[in-house]
Amino acid sequence: MAALAVCAMSAVFLNIKSDAQLQERFPNLAPLPEVPQTPDNPTTEAKIELGKLLFFDRRTSGDVSTSCSSCHDPHKGWGDGNPVSKGYPGTVHWRNSQTVVNAAYLKKLFWAGEDTSLESQADSAVTGNLAGNGDPDTIEERLAQVPEYVRLFKEAFGVERPTYPLALKAIAVFERTVVTKDAPFDQYMNGDKKALSDSAKRGMELFQGKARCIQCHNGPLMSDESFHNIGVPKNPLFENDAQRQIALRFQHYARGVSEEVYRGADRDLGLYYTTKRPEDKGKFRTPPLRYIEYTAPYMHNGVFESLEEVVDFYNKGGGDDPRKSPLLQSLDLTKQEMNDLLEFLKSLSGEEIIVEEPPEPPYAVLDE
Amino acid sequence: MAALAVCAMSAVFLNIKSDAQLQERFPNLAPLPEVPQTPDNPTTEAKIELGKLLFFDRRTSGDVSTSCSSCHDPHKGWGDGNPVSKGYPGTVHWRNSQTVVNAAYLKKLFWAGEDTSLESQADSAVTGNLAGNGDPDTIEERLAQVPEYVRLFKEAFGVERPTYPLALKAIAVFERTVVTKDAPFDQYMNGDKKALSDSAKRGMELFQGKARCIQCHNGPLMSDESFHNIGVPKNPLFENDAQRQIALRFQHYARGVSEEVYRGADRDLGLYYTTKRPEDKGKFRTPPLRYIEYTAPYMHNGVFESLEEVVDFYNKGGGDDPRKSPLLQSLDLTKQEMNDLLEFLKSLSGEEIIVEEPPEPPYAVLDE
């Protein structure tokens, strides 16, 4: 049954013969709208100010070594610049650190969509053993011992005492301000026809046509927020580095895979950890494409260093994987076409967003 | 009712008029027997070897900074030498680190008897946020990535793969070898009448008589393993140091005291955290006295730097606390008597137990 379904789906896409047919089937590219409202955590100036301090505060980790910004560094595209992220001291992480930029628009956070809000993503990162390894109660007591935080929590939330869940809310509100929607692409879509070069315009046509990027990278976000196996090559780190092996085995163990999968696994299994359906092995959520000029290396395991490699990978129809999506086919792009596509991709990034790290407000002795 | 019971008990002890009566009522001092057997975790050479490595391995903590030996340092009396222990990086601990020496004999571990075996004590220390802040699954994966541990776990336990609960067992078995029962006092009790000086012998009489130490420090272990409030002075650290305040507030929070107690507490409440009975505030388990020459500073909060201070404290009838035990009364010891008592206390320590730190066995890439 599963094999039949795949064949049927494949046939559907192979039957799409014209660019018009392709664009009709998938949501159109479009400029980004305003950041979605979050009624249970509305944005205020006081929350932004508090959240910014917390985003850079290392005391939100177990051993006060690691802030959100340690792996989401504004100077590194709001990621950490490594193929697979550094981890909490004494550990290494197992996935590429994704940018915070425009994460405000995502409904599925992390590479396999494990969280559904910035608030819960922050919680996972703060407490995750390979990330912040923090304990909520400890963190709460630390924040309560900082007069500046006592003041700011009161201002932002009206409470007498900082709490961990409110800290997550403030961080999420700050992250919702880290947005770019004024890239050349957006300007072009908003009517400034000179915002894109001719090459980028050709690349945009290819993106929506011959190169078939729009099959997954569609809509204003340039992500369908769905999960696909594109056959990303294994990262040899998981075979050559004892610490990376520990990180991978820990994930398999913690996520409750079978003994057989645990023993044999040498790669990130993506959506499978959540669903435990074999057909979901190797599926990852389509990442949005804005700001990508600043977020190398690419893919969930950072195996590609440049956008050139990425385009080359797709041109060949993706990687080798028995479960690879039928959406991927060889593209036969010319060198010029690949260049045009790259020009378009670069037009998605706009100005770099730099936020300087504020000093951590100090502890104080409290009488109460 | 509670008040009546206390008065009744007080009367009992005040009615004891002679040393003979005192010694009749309490278990006699005696040399230590062999270390008690633990049928569910018998001692073997392979476990000792493994447990010793693990005791000194910093990878049993969250950020690989902290081993058992970090706070139980053989060169510091198997404690950490501070009034209140250092803690996990970014935190400080809230109690004095107790010696491992002769912990094999204890049925109640930690200052308020929170654990009942060395195995569970190790678990609490490894995972506690102010101690090791480690995650069992992460630690297990680390150990499984060390060929030397794979070999030793197989040898010690017959398993193919290191596990966290077995690591705790091995650590406990090693700790059961850290024992002193050949101090001058033991030699004396075993028949060598020259093992104690005349002053120490007089001190021993005082210990069991006028000084009334034996009321709590009795039996072979010199501890009744019961809980008493002796009015130990507050440690000003909890009022003067923001980090120590965090440690104390965290404990109150994590242990679920009422809002009122949380807000007002400025000291360790001891047994109260477990029972939540107001009369148990400030009660701590009587510590054994062997090896005390090496374990300064003294008391649960390390408030006394020397044994002289401790003896002086008891001579005055203990500290100020409305809940202080009626067992404590002014002793009216002369200077000579206090010296004799100190001589006896020093005779309980014997030779220092030094174990040199072994190198940590390295990680390796594993094929399987």
Distance, CA of B333 to CA of B203 (rounded, Å): 11
Residue tagged 């596509």 (tokens): A341
Q: Which of B58, B140, B364 sits opposite A242 (nearest CB)?
A: B364
User: Token digits for B241?
Assistant: 């140091």
Residues of B in contact with A241 (CB under 8 A): 365
Q: Would you say residue A222 has pLDDT above 70? A: yes
φ/ψ region of A42 (left if φ > 0, alpha if ψ in -120 to 50, else beta) reads: beta
> Measured between alpha carbons, how far apart are the two ends of chain A, in Å?
67
Cβ–Cβ contact A240 with B under 8 A:
yes
Max Cα-Cα span within chain A: 74
Cβ–Cβ contact A67 with B under 8 A:
no
Q: Would you say residue A319 has pLDDT above 80? A: yes
Amino acid at B222: M
User: Token digits for A316?
Assistant: 């060949």
Cβ–Cβ contact B290 with A under 8 A:
no
- What's the pLDDT at A10? 44
Please, what's the b/e burial string for B265-278 (b: 16 or more CB within 10 A of its CB; e: otherwise)? bebbbbbbbeeeee
Cβ–Cβ contact A239 with B under 8 A:
yes
Note the Cα A340 to chain centre separation in Å. Answer: 25
Contact A185, A347 (CB under 8 A): yes
Distance, CA of B242 to CA of B92 (rounded, Å): 10
Q: Return the residue of B nearest to A253 by Cα.
A: B137
Residues of B in contact with A58 (CB under 8 A): 90
- What's the pLDDT at B73? 98
- What's the pLDDT at A268? 95
Distance, CA of B37 to CA of B43 (rounded, Å): 8
The values of phi and psi at residue A284, to 5°, are -130, 155
Q: Which of B133, B140, B145 sits opposite A63 (nearest CB)?
A: B133
Residues of A in contact with B253 (CB under 8 A): 137, 140-141
Residues of B in contact with A239 (CB under 8 A): 365
β-bridge mates for residue B73, sequence order? B79
Chain A nearest C-alpha distance from B160 (Å): 12
- What's the pLDDT at A13? 56
Q: Which of A58, A129, A145 sits opposite B138 (nearest CB)?
A: A129
Chain A nearest C-alpha distance from B245 (Å): 8
Q: Which of A62, A240, A241 sits opposite B90 (nearest CB)?
A: A62
User: Token digits for A252?
Assistant: 């398999």
Q: What is the pLDDT of residues A59-116, one digit of tens each?
A: 999 999 999 999 999 999 999 999 999 999 999 999 999 999 999 999 999 999 999 9
Residues of B in contact with A57 (CB under 8 A): none
Contact A124, A115 (CB under 8 A): yes
Please state, in angstroms and as integers, the Cα–Cα distance from residue B166 to each residue in B89, B101, B121, B137, following that order: 26, 22, 14, 13
DSSP state of B329: -
Confidence of residue A3 (pLDDT cuts 50, 70, 90): very low
Contact A151, A159 (CB under 8 A): no
HSE at residue A56, side-chain half, CA atoms within 13 A, is 16
Distance, CA of A143 to CA of A368 (rounded, Å): 15
- What's the pLDDT at A368? 62
Average pLDDT for A319-337: 96
Rg (CA), chain A: 22
Question: Do the two domains A16-32+181-231+282-346 and A45-175 of this chain adopt the same fold?
Answer: yes
Nearest in space to B90 (alpha carbons), one of A342, A252, A60: A60
* 368 residues of chain B, pLDDT tens digit each: 344 444 444 444 556 778 888 888 899 999 999 999 999 999 999 999 999 999 999 999 999 999 999 999 999 999 999 999 999 999 999 999 999 999 999 999 999 999 999 999 999 999 999 999 999 999 999 999 999 999 999 999 999 999 999 999 999 999 999 999 999 999 999 999 999 999 999 999 999 999 999 999 999 999 999 999 999 999 998 889 999 999 999 999 999 999 988 887 789 999 999 999 999 999 999 999 999 999 999 999 999 999 999 999 999 999 999 999 999 999 999 999 999 999 999 999 999 999 999 999 999 998 76
The helix (run of H) or strand (run of E) holding residue B254 is helix B242-254
Nearest in space to B287 (alpha carbons), one of B85, B81, B27, B100: B100
SS3 letters across chain A: CHHHHHHHHHHHHHCCCCHHHHHHHCCCCCCCCCCCCCCCCCCCHHHHHHHHHHHCCHHHCCCCCCCHHHHCEHHHCCECCCCCCECCCCCECCCCCCCCCCHHHCCCECCCCCECCHHHHHHHHHHCCCCCCCCHHHHHHHHHCCHHHHHHHHHHHCCCCCCHHHHHHHHHHHHCCCCCCCCHHHHHHCCCCCCCCHHHHHHHHHHHCCCCHHHCCCCCCCCCCCEECCCCCCCCHHHHCHHHHHHHHHHHHHCCCCHHHHHHCCCCCECHHHHCCHHHCCEEECCCCCCHHHCCCECCCCCECCHHHHHHHHHCCCCCCCCCCCCCCCCCCCHHHHHHHHHHHHCCCCCCCCCCCCCCCCCCCCCC
User: Token digits for A228?
Assistant: 């696909």
Please, what's the b/e burial string for A343-366 (b: 16 or more CB within 10 A of its CB; e: otherwise)? bbbbbbbbeebebeeeebbebeee
Question: What is the CATH topology of the domain spanning A45-175?
Answer: Cytochrome Bc1 Complex; Chain D, domain 2 (1.10.760)
Contact B195, B184 (CB under 8 A): yes
Cβ–Cβ contact A245 with B under 8 A:
yes
Q: Judged by CB atoms within 8 Å, which residues 142-201 of B form the interface with A? A: 142, 144-145
Q: Return the residue of B nearest to A161 by Cα.
A: B263
Residues of A in contact with B90 (CB under 8 A): 58-59, 61-65
Give the orientation angle of helix A147-157 with respect to helix A45-55, to 10 degrees.
140
Distance, CA of A161 to CA of B217 (rounded, Å): 44
Cβ–Cβ contact A246 with B under 8 A:
yes
Please state, in angstroms and as integers, the Cα–Cα distance from residue B362 to each residue in A179, A253, B149, following that order: 44, 22, 9
Q: Which of B250, B365, B366 sits opposite A137 (nearest CB)?
A: B250
DSSP state of A94: S
Residues of A in contact with B138 (CB under 8 A): 91, 129-130, 246, 250
DSSP state of B115: B
Q: Per the CB < 8 Å rule, is A245 touching B63? A: no
What is the domain partition of chain B in residue ranges? 15-32+181-231+282-351, 45-175, 232-281
CATH architecture under which domain B15-32+181-231+282-351 falls: Orthogonal Bundle (1.10)
Residues of B in contact with A90 (CB under 8 A): 58-59, 61-65
Q: Per the CB < 8 Å rule, is A242 touching B365? A: yes
- What's the pLDDT at B42? 97
Q: Which of B129, B246, B365 sits opposite A245 (nearest CB)?
A: B365
Q: Judged by CB atoms within 8 Å, which residues 305-344 of B form the interface with A? A: none
Average pLDDT for A273-295: 96
Confidence of residue A24 (pLDDT cuts 50, 70, 90): confident
Nearest in space to A287 (alpha carbons), one of A278, A296, A279: A296
User: Token digits for B340?
Assistant: 């004799």
Residue tagged 């001291």 (tokens): A89
% of chain A beyond a pLDDT of 70: 96
Domain A16-32+181-231+282-346 in CATH 1.10.760.10? The answer is yes
- What's the pLDDT at A20? 84
Q: Per the CB < 8 Å rule, is A242 touching B363? A: yes
Q: Return the residue of A nearest to B128 by Cα.
A: A135
CA angle A95, A101, A104 (to 5 degrees): 100
Please state, in angstroms and as integers, the Cα–Cα distance from residue A30 to each residue in A162, A299, B10, B104, B339, following that order: 40, 23, 84, 70, 88
Q: Per the CB < 8 Å rule, is B363 touching A133? A: no
